[in-house]
A and B are shown apart, each in its own frame.
Chain A
Amino acid sequence: MTDLIRMTAVELAAKIKSREVSAVEVAQAHLDRIEAVDDRVHAFLHVDREGALAAAARVDKGEVTGPLAGVPVAVKDVIATKGVPTTAASKILEGWRPPYNATIVERLQAAGTVMLGKTNMDEFAMGSSTEYSAYGPTNNPWDLGRIPGGSGGGSAASIAAYEAPLAIGTDTGGSIRQPGAVTGTVGAKPTYGGTSRYGLIAFSSSLDTPGPCARTVEDAALLHTVIAGHDPRDSTSIPQAVPDVVGAARLGATGDLSGVKLGLVKEFAGDGSEPGVSAAFRESLEALVKLGAEVIEVSCPHFQYALPAYYLIAPSECSSNLARFDGVRYGLRVGDDGNRSLEEVMSLTRDAGFGPEVKRRIILGTYALSSGYYDAYYGQAQKVRTLITRDFQKAFEQVDVLVSPTTPFVAFPFGSRTSDPYQMYLADLFTIPTNLYGGPAISVPCGLSEGLPVGFQVMAPTMADDRMYRVAAALESAVGTLTPPAL
C-alpha cells in the first residue's frame, strides 16, 4: 500500500473511480503513513481518523461522488471545520470545535475529498517558519532540523512527507508559496476574491486568500477548481467564472511556451537571494526559454516598498480582527475569579492566549492606526499599495506573467531568525507584492541548492490564474518534481 501514498491526486481519483482501489484503502494508507512519520514531522495538529474513514466509506458506497472522490486532503488549522478542533495553532482557541464549516470545506466535501486532519501553522498564520505555533514547530521532511516555511508549514510538509496528496493553505503574504518552495512542493495563491474567506479565521482580511498545495501542478489546479468560485457569504468574493486552470496546466505540460512573455523584475535582482537560489532560478529561466518563452526585463519601482507597506497593513488589520478573541464567545478565559472586571479578564485572557509574534503585531497595528500616526503609517502604506498595483498593471501591459525566486533563501535551521523578527519577515520579500496587488501567484519546485529545494514563482494578472498554471506546468515538465530523502 506504500504506492498509494506516492500517487498524485489525479492517479488516486482515477483508481478509486474505476474501483481498482477503495477510498477506505487510500485513506488507511495515508493514516498509516501519518502514524509512522508524524511524530518526527509534526505536520498535523489533529488527525481525524474516524471522520476520514467514515467519509471514505461513503465514497465506496457510492453515496458521494465528485471530481476528487476518495482523495485525501489535509486542511490548515485556520479553517473552520464543523465539530473538528480548529485552533489556528493558538492557545486562545485550544479545544474549540466550530459549529459550522468554511465554504471551502463544504466544497471539498462536495467534491468527494476525504479530510485527514488539520495541519500545523504559525499562530494565526503570522510567521514564515511554524516556529510561532503554540503547539511546537513542524519539521521539514528534507531536513528535520530545518523549518518547513510558514505560515502553512504543516500543509506543505504533509504533502512533502507523503502524509497527504493534497492540502489547503492560506496566503496573506506568502504563507502557501514560501512553504511550497522550501519543501519542494507546489503552492498556489489564487486571485484575491477567487476563493472564499467564509470560515477562514481572519488575520488580514484584505489580503487573506485560501489556495491549494500539492506535489504536482495539475493536482494543484484540480484542487484550485474545486475550492474556487463565487460565494455569496463572502462580500469580497468575485462574481465571475473560475479561469480554466486545469486546462492551462495540461497545456503547459505539453512543454510549449511559444509566444509567452515572462517579465523579470529589475528591482528584484541583487535583492539578497542566496547564490544557490539565484543559480537554480536562472537555470529554470533558461529551461523556459528553450520551451519558447521570451524573457523581458520590466521595472516595478515600488516593489521595494512592498515589505514595509505589508508590515503596516497586515498588523493594522490583525489588530482589529483579533479583537474578537476576548474570552466571551469561544476559546480561553483566564482570571475570572468573580472579583475581576470584564476588562481585566479580557486582558489576562489575551496575554495568556496569544504568543509573542501575535502580540507584537497587535501592538504594531494598534500603533499604526492610532491618531497622530495613522496618516504617516497606515494611510501612507495604503497609498504605496496603489503604486505597487500600478507597477503590476504597467508590467502586464508588456508581459504575460512575472517570474522570480519564491523566497530568497532555502529552508533555514530552527532558531536562526526568531530573535530578530524583521529577519523572519524577509522570507516574504518576493511573495508580498502579489498580495498587495491581489493577483494570483504560484510556487513550483525548480531544483536544489545545497541539497534543499528552491521555488520558482510565477505571478499573473488578477483573474488570469490560468496563465501561471501554464507556465508552472511547463517548468515542471522541464525540470521534474522533487523527491525528499526517505524519512
Chain B
Amino acid sequence: MAVTVKTFASASEAAGALSSDRSARYLGGGTLVMRALNEGDVSISTVVRAQDQALTRIDASGPRVVLGAGVTFARVLAERDLAFLHGPARSIGGPAVRNMGTVGGNLFAPSPYGDFTVALLALDATVAVQGGFGTRDIPIEEFLQARDRQAGTLVLSVSCTRPASSEAFRYRKIARIKPKGGAVITLAAHLPVTGGRIAGARIALGSMAPTQIRARAAERALEGRSLDAATIAAAASAASEGTSPSDNALGSAWYRREIVGVHLRRLLSGQE
C-alpha cells in the first residue's frame, strides 16, 4: 500500500507533522520503518523525514557527548573520540545495517534489537525530544518506560557523560551467531569509582523485559563496595531480580534468567 512521504527541511517542522498525525512514523535509517512497510504494516500511512543537519551532528570533544538522532553506527565507529561506544556500535548488524541504522532509531528497536540503547541506559543518557509541546530533555530510563507513547515526538539527540575510564564502562552482547546476530541478552555496566568504591553503579539489560531495563538489585549489591569477588557474586545472583524476559527464537525466558547472572559476573570480573 502506498504511503504519503513528507520531507521537511527542519526537525521542528517534522516534529509538528509527527505530533499531528497518529499514523505517521519518522523515517531515520529505515531499518525499522521500511521493514514495517515491507511487512505490510497498515498502521503507517504517513512517513515523515527531516533533512536537518542538526540531526546528524556529533559533538564528542568535551566530557559531555552529544549524538544527533540521525547519526549512524558507522559514524560512531569512525569517531575516535567515541571509543567507549565502539563496542556497542560494532555489535549491531552487519556493515550495511551500521551504515543505515541510527542512534535515535535504536531507542525504538524492539527486543532482540536495541543494543546501543542498553549502553546508553547504563550511561544515564538524556534524550532530547521535540513534540507538540516544544523541546525537552528526558532521562533515558523515563523515555524507555513511556516508549509506546513516544510515537508522536521526534528524538533530536541523545547525550551522555563520557565514562572516566575504559574500566568504568563495560558492554557485552550475547548472540548465537558471531559476529552478527540478534541478542539473546545484552548487558552494559557503568561503574564509577570514588576512593576505591563504586559510587553510582548502573547496570542495564537488553532482552530481559519488553524494553531495556536497569538491574537495580545488582546495582544495590555493587553500590559503595569495591569490585571484589564477593561483591561481583552478590551482583550476579541479583541480576535477574525484577526482570521479565520473553521467549523468542533466540532463547527462552527461562534461559535468559539463567544466564544473565553468569554473563554479569563475567562482565564485572573482566572475563572474555
The yes or no verdict on A and B being binding partners is: no
Contact residues of A with B, CB < 8 Å?
none
